[in-house]
Each structure stands twice: as C-alpha cells, then as structure tokens.
Amino acid sequence: MSVKDIRTLEELELYEKDWNNLIEKCPGSLPMQSYAWISAYFRYKLQHDEKWICLFAYNESELIAVYPLLINRRIGLPGFYFQTFKTPFDPFHTTRVDGLILQGKENILELLFNHLKISFNAIPLLHINGIPDSSASLLYFNKRKKGVLASYKKKGGKEYLINLTGTFQEYCKQLNKKFRKKITHRLKKISEKADLIFIFKENNRTNKENFEIFSQLENSGWKGEKKTAILNRQGDRELFLSATNKFHEYGWIRWNFVEAENIIIAARLFVRINNTTVSFKTAYNEDYSKYGPGKLLFYKSVQNFYERNETGEIVLGNLYNRFSDWNASERKLFNIIIFPKHIFLTPLIKLYLFIKYK
C-alpha cells in the first residue's frame, strides 16, 4: 500500500476520477466529501494563511482512502512537536466532513497517520467535527480495539434523517394526521389562488441559471437580512457554483422548484449520491409564507423521489424542530480527536483534551 501527498489544486484535479469512483463505493457518503466540494472549498473558502493537504491511499492501483485536511497549529519544543489538523468545516454549510475509506479497509488510517508523522516530523492530532458512528474514522475504533491509534470522543450534536421505504402512501400514513391535513389544506388554498407548477430535477436551464435563481430567492428573505444567505458570505457563491456545476456533471444534483403566478415561490437543492440524498439548501418567497411553500415543495419532492425510485436516506442536517413533522429520526454525532498511541503521552493527551473540551 502507498500514500500520495497532494498539496496543490492542479495535482488534486488529477485524482478526480479515482475520488468519484471511491465515493460511489462508500455507502452514506455526503457531497461534502466529494472532490467537487473539497476542491472548491480549498479554492474559495480558505483564509490567506491557511494551508491544506490531501492524502490518498492506494492498494496497488485501487484508491481505498482519501483524507482532505487543513493544516492547523504546530505546538511544542524543538525536537518534540504536535501538529494539529482538521477536516474542512464551516458551521453554515459544511458541518461534517470525514475521510473516505473503502469498507473493510479502516486500518489504512494507521498508514495515513504514520505518513503525517514522518512528513511533519511531529505527533499528528486530527480534529473531526460532527460525524456519526458509521463514519470511516469512527469505524476504525469500533473495529480495531487494539490499533495503534487513540482517540478522544465527545458528543457533537444530532442531525435529522428520513428513511424512505415502502410506498409514498405508506410514508404519508406515518405522518401526524393533523400535519397531513395541514399540507393538504395549504395545497388546496394556494391552488385556488394560482396554478401551482412543481418542477423536479430541473434540467432545461443550465446549473448556473438554476443556482442564480435559487441564490436570489434565498437572499430576498430573512437569510438575506441576517447576512447568512449564499450571496452574503465571502466565497460561498463561488464555492456553491463551482461544486454544483460538478454535481450537475456527475448527475447528482436535484434542483426542485414550485411556481405560482409565473414566479418561483420556493426552491430546494438536493444532492444524491448512491442511496443518500442530502437536503442541502432551501429558499422561499416570503410573500407566500402563510402557505408554507417550502414545506409543500418538500412534500412533493418526497413524492417525486418515490416516483423516480430514488428512495433510501434523506439527510436533513442539523437538528431543527421544523423537521419533526416529517417522521424524521435523530442520529447522534460526535467530535473526535485522533492521535497515535504512546505509553506515556496518551493518558496526558486525553487528560488535556478532557480539560479543554469538557
């Protein structure tokens, strides 16, 4: 097995095909773990003094692991240093990014850490935020109790997800009856005012055109006022446009819209990899807020997923009460710091991390 150490965007581009092949072999992978997102993040979201490294592990010609890392602080004394790393993270849209490892090959993490130790001449400490037990880095510890790596793990919040199984009718029966009636009533009321046109997996326009429609709609509401819309945060427009162009190229993207009175009143960006669909972003026209156009579009989108046989898991992101009506379940997330085991240092490192992060 071998490790390749990439530190420029030009070199990173050479691994796009292998990276995409790997992500499609890893169940539960998210778009934030893809070449499309990571390369755009490195290009548009880093501060001027931030540096990155991306590790690729190969078993002969087969790519079995990818770890994109930001290079953080180096602390210690001459001859004895700790080098800290973290996976790309942004609380507004990139809340969890773990490395990708082919199932059954989790022990490759040891080789990657050994590479970091030698390359940086320091003890590596890797911070990863908000990942579930099924993520590659946590699977290593679940499967290898006596491995050469140690970890400090603490709760990192929750996220909502919906498992689409059976039929759409069966899914609807699981929803609260009062909520179902509210959706039906709102659909009827707004339809009396104007003809509704639902557009799923829109592909008559270019991705850029769909992105511009979405971002302008998002910016017109409360997200624009609070400066949390894509257009308000430095680098976000470029990040999303670059990444969604690639998602479109790969066939992963789902732009869904609803029109009324010849204007778009709600839009949702979904990205689907394997059997996992991520509800990435949503926007709506606040003039129609009493009808809940975002909820109507989500309801119809779920129906369309069933019609397209695109069932499986919908990841809804962070835990928000507005998803509780959709028969969503909670999944625990964890923050983890990984470092090599050492007979003397491991207890001291864990004590330090406990005091720092308790």
C-beta of residue 265 within 8 angstroms of C-beta of residue 288: yes
pLDDT the model gives residue 72: 93
The pLDDT value recorded for residue 355 is 67
Task: Give the count of alpha carbons within 13 A of 324, CB side only.
Answer: 5
Domain ranges for the chain: 2-158+332-357, 166-310
Domains 2-158+332-357 and 166-310 share a fold: yes
Pairwise CA distance, residues 321 & 283, whole Å: 17
Per-residue pLDDT of the chain (358 residues; tens, 9 = 90+): 899 999 999 999 999 999 999 999 999 999 999 999 999 999 999 988 899 999 999 999 999 999 999 999 998 877 788 999 999 988 777 778 999 999 999 999 999 999 999 999 999 999 999 999 999 999 999 877 778 999 999 998 888 899 999 999 999 999 989 999 999 999 988 888 888 999 999 999 999 999 999 999 999 988 888 888 899 999 999 999 999 999 999 999 999 999 998 899 999 999 999 999 999 899 999 988 888 899 999 999 999 999 999 999 999 876 555 677 898 998 999 999 999 987 777 777 777 676 666 6
* Domain 166-310 architecture: 3-Layer(aba) Sandwich (3.40)
**Per-residue pLDDT tens digits for 238-268:** 999 999 999 999 999 999 999 998 899 999 9
Angstrom distance (rounded) from CA 37 to CA 93: 11
Give dist(CA 205, CA 261) in Å, integer: 20
Q: Pick the closest to residue 100 from 36, 57, 45 (CA basis).
A: 57
pLDDT of residue 236: 93
So what's the pLDDT on residue 76? Answer: 82
Q: Do 154 and 357 form a contact (C-beta atoms < 8 A)?
A: yes
How far out from the chain centre does Cα 115 lie? Answer: 26
pLDDT of residue 318: 60
| CA pseudo-torsion sign 144, 147, 149, 155 | positive
Q: Per-residue pLDDT tens for 191-213?
A: 888 889 999 999 999 999 999 99
With CA atoms as reference, report the closest residue to 349 among 119, 149, 157, 113.
149
First vs last Cα of the chain: how many Å apart?
38
Q: What pLDDT is recorded for position 341?
A: 87
Please classify residue 349 by burial: count the beta carbons closer than 10 Å to its beta carbon, then call 0-12 exposed, 13-18 middle and 19+ buried. buried
Tell me yes or no: is domain 2-158+332-357 CATH 3.40.630.30.
Answer: yes
What's the confidence (pLDDT) of residue 320?
Answer: 56
* pLDDT of res. 358: 60
